[in-house]
Amino acid sequence: MTFSATNLLLVVVLLLNLFFLATSRIRALIQAAALQGVVLGVLPVLIHGRIHWNTALIAIATIVLKGSVIPGMLRRALREAQIKREVEPLIGLVPTMLLGALGTLLSIGFAEGLPLVPEHRGLLIVPASISTVLTGFLLLTTRFKAITQAIGYLVLENGIFIFGLLLLEAMPFLVEIGVLLDLFVGIFVVSIILHHINREFASLDTRRLASLRE
Amino acid sequence: MSASVSPVAIEILAAACIALSGVPGCLLRRVPAAGQPTATALNGLGSAAGLLGLVAHARGGDAEIVLPWALPVGRVAFGLDGLAALFLVPILLVSALGSLYGASYWSGRDHPESAPRLRLWWGLMTASMMAVVLARDAIAFLMAWEAMALAAFFLIATEDDQPEVRRSSWIYLVATHTGTLCLLGCFALLAHVQGSFALWPRLASGGSAWISTAIFALGVTGFGLKAGVMPLHVWLPGAHANAPSHVSALLSGVLLKTGVYGLVRVCGLLPDPPLWWGGVLLAIGAVSGLLGITLALAQQDLKRLLAYSSVENVGIIAMGVGLATVGRALGRGDLVVLGLAGALLHVLNHSLFKPLLFLVAGNVLHATGTRRIASLGGLARTMPRTFVFFVIGAVAICGLPPLNGFAGEFLLYAGLLRATRVDPVGWVWAGLAVPALAMVGALAVAGFVKVSGIAFSGSARSSDAAHAHDPGGSMLAPMVALAGGCVLLGLVPSAALPLLERAVAAWDPEIAAGTPSLAQLVPFGWISAMGLLGIASVAGVATLLAWRRPESSAAGTWDCGYARPTPRMQYVDSSFSETLVGLFDWALRSRRASPELRGPFPSRAHFATRVPDAILDLAVLPLLGAADRGFARARALQRGPVHRYVLYIGLAVMLVLLVAR
Amino acid sequence: MLLPALIAVPLVAAGVAAALPSERWRPWMLASAAAGHLALTFAALTGPTERSLGGWLALDAPGRLVLLLLSVLFAICAVYAVGYLRYRREISNRVFVPCLLVFLAMTTLVACSQHLGLLWVAIEATTLTTAPLIYFNRTPHSIEATWKYLLVGSVGIAIALLGSFFLAYASLGEESSLLFSDLLARAARMNRSWLHVAFVLLLVGYGTKMGLAPMHTWKPDAYGEAPGVVGALLAGGLTNCAFLALLRVFHICQAAGEGAYASRLLVFFGLLSIGVAAVFMVGQRDFKRMLAYSSVEHMGILVLGVGLGGSGIFAALLHMLNNGITKGVLFLSAANIHRAFDSKSIDDVQGAMRRVPLSGWLFLLGFFAITGSPPFGPFVSEFLVVTRAFAAERFVVGGSFLVLLLVVFVGMGRTVLTVVQGAAPAAASRTSYRDGLLTGLPILVSMGIVLLLGVHIPSPLESLIRAAATLLETTP
Amino acid sequence: MTGTLNLLAHVALLLVLPPLLLGVINKTKAWFAGRRGPPLLQLYYDLVRLFRKDMVVSTTTTWVFRAGPVIGVSAVFLAGLLVPFGPFDAPIAFPGDLVLFAYLLGLARFFTASAALDTGSAFEGMGAAREVSFASLAEVALFMAFVVLVRLSGALSLSPMLHAPIAGIAGGLPAAALLLVAVALFVVLLAENARIPIDDPNTHLELTMIHEVMVLDHSGPLFGLVLYGAAVKLFVLAALLLHLVLPVALGNPLLDWALFVAGVLALAVVVGVVESVMARLRLSHVPSLLIAAGVLCAFGFFFTLA
């Protein structure tokens, strides 16, 4: 049972990835990121069945941070910048989606090449992780608004977190918390920088941020 | 000097003393007059100690010491052998005399800010040149080599507020750094073949032929850049023209010789070098000689002319080294002795007459403030003593009999003529090298007749030249010493015999058995005799003329009865050398800015010819410009938006994963 | 007990500095914390290797080397920062000083950590603390530089984290852990394809933090806009932490028998970095950006040295020391020149030797040092790299290395000499900034160290480097 | 005993005979032109007249003006001592004296040209420029000839080298080489002594002169020295060339000396004939003539290798 539930949630994550690339409304992006954060929070409990005290703590911390605190910060930055829509991306919405889908297929093929430990054999974790990383990467490279790039970075971190699930019992608690803390402080500093960009350039469009060149 | 103190130790102490000669000058800045005498005194003391060390070496024989100094890698080893001793003589002499000359030429009063610094770098440069010649370990050699290069850079850039000085010091710096990198590669290969960093080993076999060729190529390029042989001479004219005159004297008199020292050592690496090594050096020498002197002929700036003539002289030295290497390849001991002795004697001679000529140029610059030959004239009458020194230097540099230039070229000719009779292979190069050397000699005569005729004779072409006057005693004293050296070595060339024989023995210890010694190969006695006979006959004819006591009434130059001749009607340097520059135009590519005269009454017109440096202006700079434009296009990588930067990271991961499967 | 103290002292000082209200006294916290840290470092270096926090923190030979460099460089920069901040009163240093101290703590953590995950957390923390440092000048350019630094740096570090997980998972089923000792023990049995992908990801990840090409794009902007003292710390300190991480990963790869694979990649990235730096340095109009490219070049040299293996590793470690201190000299003297002319472009900045003689001369000597001129330290290590390249019969690598060094010299020389020589152009703005004791002495001291490293390396230091090199070569 | 006699004869001839050569040349040219021409001893009369006259010295000159002719004569005289006359050895002979011979000519050229420039006149500058330019090409041909002779004779000193043809070099290629070298040396002789076709000694248009224009301002004894020096130089080069044209030794010293004098005078007649038959070359063509002489020697050099 647990296998099919985990795979189900991973499929949800894959669908969310496609959604990220489809929408250009930033508010919806933040909602989706929050949802993905919650899903990631639930996954560790599902994979390991028995509730060990540190797995539970990590699950709660992930849900709290990725589900509400970080999206809250991003929303506040969005409200301050008074922008609604992402401007026309570098290569258009549909091509990015196609690239995202192609990326997912590639990640599945790539995952085949990597042998897995017997108990993880059926899981979709590696493809999901790589696909999420690629989605985050696409958001970073094709979108222009600074806040969308921050969200792209967040999705990238989620992808890596998914892969981290395989090593949950080996990874010491301190490091997991350290990773989460770093993510939180990262987004906190990014939001401060977004505030300063908005104050200085009166817009979050990173095409203005290209005057340092050779 | 008891034999207990090894000559190397004396040399190192002397080097240390000279190195510190500039320091007191810098410390007591408040008393500008005090710095110079202490610097010159310390320099002189160091040189004297150095010469004493050479005398001790002459008696004591080769010596080597390893200082207990823990370099990060390699060891600080110094050694003194015949070859190093010979190269030390010019370093010590020219440095001491140049410092004496610089005392009043570049005194603390006229140049309060740059004089102390110049003396500091002067001392450091001399000391590091001594260390270069003494070093017996690759790391110590490279350290001394770069210290010398940097000190020379700071000396050249003394007046760095002028853009021309900055440009030429920059070209020098790039050239010298290229040389250092070549040497880096060469010593690394040597360490790979030989296993240790010990210097100037006699390699049984140079590893694979390919590696020994690479060692030779890198060594010749690295040391050739410093010696200033033809294609690698690009930095030399600019550096010599823009440095203070006594610095140019040190540069061309001695710095080029460290490059030659390196060439000689590299050629001595293999016991039986391939024949083409010698051939390449002979060819480089001939080309440097010919094109060097023709470019000198075409120059309109006195110090650039002398700089190009240094290229020519280094070319002649390279021909000597090439001949010696050919001799080693063929196992002909007499060619080795004659070639190397000819080259080394020319090194000694050149380090006497070239600094003399540069100090003459210094006097002229000091008195008239200009280096342009065409605006000088009549200096023979306004600066009689400088003119005498110039004539001595000019006769010596053209290799004309009574003076020392002749002895050096005589050895080279003897060697080349013997080489023409080597039947299997040697005849081609030698056969062509002799006429090349002859032409170089004749062109040198043309070049220095031009300078003596245009710059010194005739009437002054500008007011500066008219008001010139001879400098004070302290500037003339070193010139007397150098001129004396030229005359002495000219009349008694056998004085340098012991020094030369020890150097040849150090270079090629297992010389072919039965090789006659240098004294037997070359009739030094006859050269001295003919020199004295020449002077006697001149004196005889002069007394005959004086006995006749013809009353000589003075009048203006008849000049075919031309009514009012003006100084501007005299021949000018570019017109003097026009025939020869025309003859060599395929190499010189001279530029001519001549006005087109239109209309019945043509307006004021200006005619000028300019000879660019063939290699620098027509090959190196355009090439670098093209590379610059190519790099500019490549810099589009950093165009600014952050997505492109993140894309690079993604691409890097994917490509590496694909390629490095 | 020493290691936690090494990390705690800066953190406590950061807390106190944040609390301290007076702008004048806060910089002195820097100097005192640096002094304390230096003392503790020497105590830790001379003492036995102490393990604490359950074996996660331990100072092995490479760690000691990096810690020593960090501590010395921070002490130099701290003294300089006191003088610098006294001049820059118009901007509050309430954020600047604490961030610097946290930066020191985190880099010390990197040097001591024996756990790949903990090391990652520490490096990520350094990225976040340096962002406000780069933003110190509050100009639009510095915002752009900070944004690029943060984004590219974070993406790079995220890839490194993914690589760490791949590496942990490579031992397939055995109780996977990220402690170096465990990883080394299990290295022989690791799965090859997991290991290859892990190494590539770690190389690109930490390569981004080191500034290897093509991941170097953030460096010219960040170092160009940050104040000189931050540039010195980043170029001399942070890059070496990332290099330490790469060294440990390379060690694991070698233990797993994949040394050849890893070396080929390192040599490729090394030469690529030197080449890209050379191309970008020619015709560079801004002397701070030029120093950033010089840092890219020297990171390439470090990686090239390690890639060549054998005595190349000793050369790389020695070069890490030489490069760190020389970069300190260059960045700090460049900062003085920048303040004296209030401009970074070589069109306005000329004749530095006349306006700020001490900084001008040190900038010129630093240039000679960094381009490998003999009397100074970097020459020895670069010569060893060339010797190793030829000893390993890799003539093409050695030859192209020498050619690229020449191009770098030409590119850098043109900029430096224009800045240093000649007379100040008439249009140049006259500022009141001149060489002071606090802003001049530290550069002089570090120049002395560079000269010392070139002429005579003290034996304890040499044995430390030798130990680090042998440790990295021996597979358990 | 005969050695010192030959030495005395050598020196005597070197001192006395040269002016006669120019007399013979002028006589031949006059005979060609169908006029009586100046007496054979005309140059001796000129020299005596000049040595008795006073001289006018320009104010712009220095000691170099006087040194030019003095050093010119003594250098050429010394060069004469090196060249063997006829089958007899030269008074001074040592390995490598051919280099000294050439460089003595160079020394003479250096000072005569400097003396010319010393007067500061435009014409003399022109003459000096042409003199040193063409001399550099002539010297290449001279040395190339020496290299051929060294290859053939195997000796490094002038005396044994020039006596090799007398020793009867076998026919075939070496003889051809000697012929080429002889022609080249003849051209060099014409160039060094300002004879037609390189330079016209009797022209009055300064723009076309080379040697004559260099001595415009010399007068009195100095001019005498110049003329005497030119004559000695012609005599020495003729003696050098004679070894290739007339490599004959009769064994009896008196007859040999007579044969030598006759040979030299015959050469003077040949020069006179050439001057009467040819016109002066355009100045821009002179370098190609001298280069042709050098190429001839190069061909000779390649012949010696067979």
Residue C335: pLDDT band (50, 70, 90) is: very high
DSSP reduced 3-state for B550: coil
Distance from CA of C398 to the nearest CA of B (A): 8
Contact A209 C125 (CB under 8 A): no
Q: In this model, does residue B107 exceed pLDDT 90?
A: no
Q: In this model, does residue B240 exceed pLDDT 90?
A: yes
- Pinpoint the alpha helices (H) of A143-172: 146-164
Nearest residue in C to A171, CA atom: C177
Q: In this model, does residue A187 exceed pLDDT 60?
A: yes
**A81 close to A191: Cβ distance less than 8 angstroms:** no
pLDDT at residue number D293: 92
- What residues 162-191 of chain B have any CB closer than 8 A to a CB of chain C? 163, 166, 169-170, 173-174, 177-178, 180-182, 184-185, 187-189, 191
How large is the average pLDDT for residues D198-209?
78
> C158-183 burial by CB neighbour count: b if 16+ within 10 A, else e?
bbbbbbbbbbbbbbbeeebbbbbebb
Question: With an 8 Å Cβ cutoff, is A153 touching chain B?
Answer: no
Residue D262: pLDDT band (50, 70, 90) is: very high
Point out the residue among A117, A149, A175 whose CB comes nearest to the CB of C151. Answer: A149
For an interface test with B, which of A91, A141, A155 has the most B Cβ atoms less than 10 Å from its Cβ?
Answer: A141
Tokens of C91: 């901007």
**C242 close to C296: Cβ distance less than 8 angstroms:** no
Contacts of B196 in chain C (CB under 8 A): none
Tokens of B99: 């410092």
DSSP reduced 3-state for A101: helix
Residue span of the structural domain in which A39 resides? 2-201
Residues in chain B: 661
- Chains in touch with C (3+ beta-carbon pairs under 8 Å) read A, B
**Under 8 Å CB-to-CB from C70, ≥6 apart: which residues?**
C104, C107, C108, C111, C237, C240, C241
pLDDT in tens, C100-152: 999 999 999 999 998 888 899 999 999 999 999 998 888 888 998 999 999 99
pLDDT at residue number C239: 93
> From CA A157, how far away is CA B374, in angstroms rounded?
77
**C422 close to C355: Cβ distance less than 8 angstroms:** no
pLDDT at residue number D220: 85
Q: How many domains does chain A contain in total?
A: 1
pLDDT in tens, D32-48: 889 888 888 999 999 99
For an interface test with D, which of B411, B552, B578, B585 has the most D Cβ atoms less than 10 Å from its Cβ?
Answer: B552
| % chain D with pLDDT above 90 | 38
**Per-chain mean pLDDT for chain C:** 90
**B458 close to B573: Cβ distance less than 8 angstroms:** no
Q: Which comes out higher in pLDDT, residue B502 or A87?
A: B502
pLDDT at residue number B1: 41
- Model ipTM? 0.90
pLDDT at residue number B661: 66
How large is the average pLDDT for residues C14-24?
87
pLDDT at residue number B468: 85
CA distances from residue C328 to B71, B165, C80, C231, C325 in whole angstroms, order as listed: 23, 30, 10, 8, 5
- Chains in touch with D (3+ beta-carbon pairs under 8 Å) read B
**Under 8 Å CB-to-CB from B484, ≥6 apart: which residues?**
none
Tokens of B97: 């005399």
How large is the average pLDDT for residues C429-446?
85
> B245-272 burial by CB neighbour count: b if 16+ within 10 A, else e?
bbbbbbbbbbbbbbbbbbbbbbbbbbee
Q: Which candidate, D238, D253, D239, D255, places its Cα nearest to that of D88?
A: D253
pLDDT in tens, A138-155: 988 888 888 888 999 999
- Residue B104: exposed, middle, or buried by beta-carbon count in 10 A (0-12, 13-18, 19+)? middle
Q: Which candidate, D266, D130, D296, D140, places its Cα nearest to that of D208?
A: D130
Contacts of B641 in chain A (CB under 8 A): 206-207, 209-210
pLDDT at residue number C51: 76
Distance from CA of D253 to the nearest CA of B (A): 28
**A58 close to A177: Cβ distance less than 8 angstroms:** yes
pLDDT at residue number B400: 92
pLDDT at residue number C29: 87
Torsion of CA B440, B446, B452, B455, to 10 degrees: -110
Nearest residue in B to A207, CA atom: B641
Question: With an 8 Å Cβ cutoff, is C215 touching chain B?
Answer: yes
pLDDT in tens, C85-101: 888 888 888 889 999 99
pLDDT at residue number C234: 93
> C432-460 burial by CB neighbour count: b if 16+ within 10 A, else e?
ebbbeebbbbbbebbbebbeebbbebeee
**Under 8 Å CB-to-CB from B454, ≥6 apart: which residues?**
B373, B374, B376, B377, B570, B571, B572, B573, B576, D117
Residues in chain D: 306
> From CA C143, how far away is CA C138, in angstroms rounded?
7
- Residue B597: exposed, middle, or buried by beta-carbon count in 10 A (0-12, 13-18, 19+)? exposed
Contact A209 B641 (CB under 8 A): yes
Element (H, E) at D57: strand D55-58
CA angle (C112 as vertex; C111, C115 as ends), nearest 5:
105
Q: Which comes out higher in pLDDT, residue D176 or D266?
A: D266
CA distances from residue A27 to A202, B39, C36, C344 in whole angstroms, order as listed: 19, 79, 49, 41
> From CA C13, how far away is CA C2, in angstroms rounded?
17
pLDDT at residue number B426: 57
Q: What is the DSSP string of B407-453?
A: HHHHHHHHHHHHHHT-TTTTHHHHHHHHHHHHHHHHHHHHHHHHIII
Q: Out of B80-84, B232-236, D212-216, pick the least confident.
A: D212-216
Can you say how many angstroms the Cα of residue C81 is from the centroid of all Cα atoms in its chain? 18
How large is the average pLDDT for residues C296-317?
93
Residue B580: pLDDT band (50, 70, 90) is: confident
Q: In this model, does residue A134 exceed pLDDT 70?
A: yes
**C386 close to B184: Cβ distance less than 8 angstroms:** yes
> From CA D65, how far away is CA D278, in angstroms rounded?
34
Q: Out of B555-559, B630-634, C346-350, D238-242, pick the least confident.
A: B555-559
pLDDT in tens, B113-171: 888 889 999 999 999 999 999 999 998 899 999 999 999 999 999 988 889 999 999 99
Question: With an 8 Å Cβ cutoff, is C445 touching chain B?
Answer: no
Point out the residue among B435, B540, B579 whose CB comes nearest to the CB of D294. Answer: B435
Contact C118 A175 (CB under 8 A): yes
pLDDT in tens, D118-164: 888 888 888 888 888 998 899 999 999 998 888 888 888 888 888 87
pLDDT at residue number B2: 45
Strand ranges (E), A14-124: none
| % chain B with pLDDT above 90 | 40
> From CA D208, how far away is CA D211, in angstroms rounded?
10
pLDDT at residue number B37: 84
pLDDT at residue number B4: 64
Contact A206 B635 (CB under 8 A): no
**Per-chain mean pLDDT for chain D:** 87
pLDDT in tens, C187-242: 888 888 889 999 999 999 999 999 998 899 999 999 999 999 999 999 988 999 99
Contact C204 B656 (CB under 8 A): yes
pLDDT at residue number D263: 92
Q: Which comes out higher in pLDDT, residue D199 or B451?
A: B451
Distance from CA of A181 to the nearest CA of B (A): 23
Contact B640 A149 (CB under 8 A): no
Contacts of B638 in chain C (CB under 8 A): 217, 220, 280
Distance from CA of D166 to the nearest CA of B (A): 21
**Under 8 Å CB-to-CB from B371, ≥6 apart: which residues?**
B241, B301, B302, B303, B304, B361, B364, B365
Contacts of D104 in chain B (CB under 8 A): 401, 534
Tokens of D272: 């006179």
pLDDT in tens, D9-29: 899 999 999 999 999 999 999
> From CA C178, how far away is CA C44, in angstroms rounded?
24
Contact D106 B441 (CB under 8 A): yes
Largest Cα–Cα distance of chain B, in whole Å?
A: 101
pLDDT at residue number D3: 79
pLDDT at residue number C34: 92
Q: Work out the end-to-end distance of chain D between its first and last CA atoms, rounded to an integer number of angstroms.
A: 43
Question: With an 8 Å Cβ cutoff, is B297 touching chain D?
Answer: no
Q: In this model, does residue C450 exceed pLDDT 50?
A: yes
pLDDT in tens, B275-294: 889 889 999 999 999 999 99
> From CA B138, how far away is CA B136, in angstroms rounded?
7
**Under 8 Å CB-to-CB from B519, ≥6 apart: which residues?**
B494, B497, B501
- What residues 112-131 of chain D have any CB closer than 8 A to a CB of chain B? 113-114, 116-126, 128-130
Distance from CA of C224 to the nearest CA of A (A): 9
Q: What is the DSSP string of B574-629?
A: HHHTHHHHHHTHHHH--EEE-PPP-SSS------EEE---HHIIIIIHHHHHHHHH
Question: With an 8 Å Cβ cutoff, is D97 touching chain B?
Answer: yes
> From CA C237, how far away is CA C243, in angstroms rounded?
10
Question: With an 8 Å Cβ cutoff, is A15 touching chain B?
Answer: no
Q: In this model, does residue B32 exceed pLDDT 70?
A: no
- Residue B30: exposed, middle, or buried by beta-carbon count in 10 A (0-12, 13-18, 19+)? exposed
Nearest residue in C to A187, CA atom: C128
> From CA A85, how far away is CA A27, in angstroms rounded?
8
Strand partners, C325: none
How large is the average pLDDT for residues D108-122?
89
**Per-chain mean pLDDT for chain B:** 87
Q: In this model, does residue C156 exceed pLDDT 80?
A: yes
CA angle (B472 as vertex; B470, B477 as ends), nearest 5:
100
- Pinpoint the alpha helices (H) of C170-281: 180-186, 192-210, 218-225, 228-233, 239-255, 259-281
Q: Out of A167-171, B589-593, D30-34, D64-68, pick the least confident.
A: A167-171
Nearest residue in A to B650, CA atom: A137
Contact A141 B635 (CB under 8 A): no
Tokens of D247: 């490599």
How large is the average pLDDT for residues D194-206?
80
Point out the residue among B635, B637, B646 whose CB comes nearest to the CB of A140. Answer: B646
